Amino acid sequence: MLSWTKFVSEKGLSEKGYEKLYASDKLRLILSESKIPLDIPNTLKFLSSLGKSKNWDGSQAVTEIRNKLVHPSPKNLQELQKFNDNEMQDAYILTMWCLELTLLYLPGCKDEYVNRLIYMQPIGQPEPVT
C-alpha cells in the first residue's frame, strides 16, 4: 500500500504499469525511495547466507518467503518447509526493519531510532533515520 500510494498516487505511475511489477520490484521501489539498502544486512546471518546462495537481495528474500506463507498450495508448503526457523526469523526482522524505516522516512522524519538489526546494541544508542 505504501509503495502503491507513493508511485501511483503521488508520482503518476500508471495503475496497470504498477500492477505488472513483481512484488519484489514494488518493494525495491519503496525501499529505494526511502533510502533503505537493498542488500540483506550481514547482521541477519542466516538470511544473508540463504540470500547469497540464491542470489537474492532483501526484497527478493522477503517476498519469496512471504509469498509461500500467504499463497497456500502444496508446492508452496513444500518449499516453505525448506526454510529453517532462523531464516524465517531473520526474514521477519528484515521486514519489520524495512517497514519501520519506510514509515519514518516517508513523512520526512530526521530524528534517530534504535536499529533492530543490531542485536547486541545497548538500548538508548540511536542512529539517524536516513
- SS3 assignment for 18-59: HHHCCHHHHHHHHHHHCCCCCCCCCCCHHHHHHHHHHCCCHH
Residue 9 belongs to a domain: no
Note down the domain range covering 73: 39-130
Residue 13 belongs to a domain: no
Rounded Cα–Cα distance for residues 20 and 3 (Å): 14
Residue 30 belongs to a domain: no
Residue 31 has pLDDT above 80, yes or no: yes
Residue 33 has pLDDT above 70, yes or no: yes
Residue 55 has pLDDT above 80, yes or no: yes
Residue 62 belongs to a domain: yes
What DSSP character marks residue 84?
-
89 confidence band (pLDDT: 50, 70, 90): very high
Residue 96 is predicted with a pLDDT of 93
1-23: pLDDT as tens digits: 889 998 999 999 999 999 999 99
Residue 120 has pLDDT above 60, yes or no: no
Residue 69 belongs to a domain: yes
Residue 30 has pLDDT above 90, yes or no: yes
Residues 90-118: what's their mean pLDDT? 88
49's CB contacts (< 8 A; 6+ apart) are none
Q: Domain tally for the chain? A: 1
Residue 124 has pLDDT above 70, yes or no: no
Residues 79-98: what's their mean pLDDT? 94
Residues 64-70: what's their mean pLDDT? 94
What DSSP character marks residue 94?
H
Residue 119 belongs to a domain: yes
Residue 91 belongs to a domain: yes
Residue 25 belongs to a domain: no
Quote the distance between the C-alpha of residue 121 and its chain's center: 21
Residue 110 has pLDDT above 60, yes or no: yes
For the chain, what percent of residues have pLDDT higher than 90?
72
